[in-house]
């Protein structure tokens, strides 16, 4: 019974993560963006947890716990606090309108599904989960490219990381606990540094728009 439903659960979780990424791509308010990101991270943790049962690799449970704590709780809260304390605007900016972004994220995710098709013929991972992780990756990338403020870019980067984690989990089921913790640690420190820079930029310019950062051009 358990063995039958668990893979289905995995697909369900992955599908939800994909849907959430569309939402993330098109949201323009910081608060809701962070909430949805937290939700997606918790789903990622759930995915890792379920996978640990499927493969009986218990170190994945530790990972799942770390993901929930770090990406599900600490990171969104921290970013929110920084935004509030520095008086950043809740309204985020983008090169395109939300509907266009939604449309674009659909397109890139279709492309990711096609690319995943080519890849799974080589790599023996599940087609759907590979496609989902590629979609997350490319939607995260879409956010990095389309967002015009540092908040949006940070979240885009984190969404991309979620995609990479999903792919890693699907492919190998974990490298070694120490290494994975190291990777997660790097992501968190990277995020912290991004936030520090964001904070300084926000303080210097009273805004976190990226077009303030266009001086170095020769």
Partner 1 sequence: MFISLLFLSCLFAFVLPLFSRRVEAIGVLALTGASALFLSALALGVPALFVAPSVSPDGLWYLDPFAAILVIIIGFVQWTATMVSVPYLRTEVSHGAIGKKRVREYYALVTFFVLSMFAAVLSNNLGLMWVALEATTLATTLLVSFYAKEASLEAAWKYLLLCSVGISLGLLGVFLTAYAAATSGLTGVAGISFANLLSVAATLPPEVMRIAFVFILVGFGTKVGLVPMHAWLPDAHGRTPSPVSGLLSGVLLNVALFALIRYKVLVDGALGGSRWSDGLFLAFGALSFIVPAAFILVQKNYKRLLAYSSIEHMGFVVFSFGLGVPGMIVGTMHLIGHALTKSMLFFAAGNTLLHFKTTKIANVKGVLQALPITGGFFLAGILAILAVPPSPLFVSEFRLVGAALSAEPWYLAGMLLAGAVIFAGFIRLLMPMLFQRSSEQPASRERLNLSHAAMALHLVAIIAFGIFFLTPAGESFITNIIKSL
Partner 2 sequence: MSFILPLFVFSLSIPLVVAVVAVGVGNRSWGNILVQLLMIFGGVTGFIASTLFLFGGGDSSIVSGLLSFPAPLDAWFAIDTLRAFFLLFVYAGMMLTSLYSLGYLPKYRGVYSLPALNAALALFVFGMGATIMSASIFSFLLFWKVMSVSAYFLVIADRSAESLSAGFSYFLMTHIGFVSLLAGFLLLSGGNVFASFLSIAASAAGLSSFVRATAFFLLFIGFGSKAGLVPLHQWLPYAHPQAPSNASALMSGVMLKVALFGFIQSLFLFSEIPLWWSCVVMAVGLVSAFFGVLHAAVESDVKRLLAWSSIENMGLLFSALGGIGIIGSLPLGLGAQPLIGALAFFVALHAVNHFLFKSGLFMAAGAVVSETHTRDLDQLGGLAQKWPLFSAAFLALSLAASALPPFGAFYGEWAYLQTLVAAIGSGITALAVPAGVALSLISLISGLAIFTFAKAFSSIFLGRARTNHAENVGHLHWALVTPVVLTAVASLATGLVAVPLGSLIAGATSTGDWSASLAPLPRASINPLVVLLIVMLTLTLAFVASRIFGAPRIRRTDTWDCGQPLTRRMEYTATGFAAPIRFFFKSIVLAEKRMTATPIIASNPWIASRSLEWKVSSFWERALYEPLGKLMLRVADVIKHLQSGVVQFYLLLVFATLVVVMSTAL
Q: In angstroms, how far is CA 35 from the centroid of its own chain?
A: 12
Coil, strand, or helix at residue 149? Answer: strand
**Total residues contacting partner 1 (rule CB under 8 A)?**
41
Out of 62, 128, 183, 207, the residue judged to bind partner 1 by CB under 8 A: 183
Is residue 74 within 8 Å of residue 41, measured between CB atoms?
no
Distance CA 21, CA 139 (A): 7
Exposed, middle or buried by CB within 10 Å (0-12, 13-18, 19+), for 59? middle
- Chain positions 190 to 209 lying near partner 1, rule: CB under 8 A, are 190, 193-194, 196-197, 200-201, 204-205
User: Candidates 22-30, 46-54, 97-105, 181-189 — which segment interacts with partner 1 by CB under 8 A?
Assistant: 181-189
Distance CA 70, CA 23 (A): 21
Instruction: Return the bridge partners of 94, or none.
Output: 147
Out of 19, 117, 185, 206, the residue judged to bind partner 1 by CB under 8 A: 185
- Select the binding partner of residue 131 from partner 1, partner 2, none (C-beta < 5 to 8 A, by kind): none
Nearest distance from C-beta of residue 210 to partner 2, angstroms: 6
Task: Spell out where the chain has E strands.
Answer: none
Is residue 22 within 8 Å of residue 102, measured between CB atoms?
yes
Per-residue contact string for residues 134-173; x = within reach of partner 1 by CB under 8 A: -------x--x-----x--x---x--xx--x--xx--xx-
- Provide the binding-site residues for partner 1, judged by CB under 8 A: 119, 122-125, 141, 144, 150, 153, 157, 160-161, 164, 167-168, 171-172, 175-176, 179-180, 182-183, 185-186, 189-190, 193-194, 196-197, 200-201, 204-205, 212-216, 218
């Amino acid at each position: 019974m358990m063995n039958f439903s668990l893979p289905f659960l995995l697909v369900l979780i992955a599908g939800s993560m994909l849907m959430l990424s569309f939402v993330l791509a098109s949201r323009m308010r910081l608060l809701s963006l962070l909430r949805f990101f937290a939700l997606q991270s918790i789903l990622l943790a759930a995915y890792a947890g379920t996978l640990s049962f499927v493969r009986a690799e218990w170190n994945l449970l530790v990972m799942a716990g770390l993901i929930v704590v770090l990406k599900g709780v600490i990171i969104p809260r921290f970013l929110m606090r920084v935004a509030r304390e520095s008086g950043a605007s809740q309204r985020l900016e983008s090169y395109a309108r939300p509907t266009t972004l939604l449309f674009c994220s659909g397109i890139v995710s279709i492309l990711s599904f096609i690319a995943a098709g080519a890849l799974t013929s080589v790599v023996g991972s599940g087609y759907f989960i590979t496609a989902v992780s590629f979609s997350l990756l490319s939607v995260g990338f879409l956010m990095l490219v389309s967002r015009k403020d540092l908040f949006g870019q940070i979240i885009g980067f984190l969404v991309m990381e979620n995609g990479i984690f999903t792919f890693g989990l699907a492919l190998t089921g974990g490298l070694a606990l120490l290494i994975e913790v190291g990777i997660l640690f790097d992501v968190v420190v990277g995020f912290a540094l991004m936030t520090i820079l964001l904070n300084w930029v926000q303080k210097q310019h009273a805004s976190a728009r990226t077009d303030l950062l266009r001086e170095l051009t020769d």
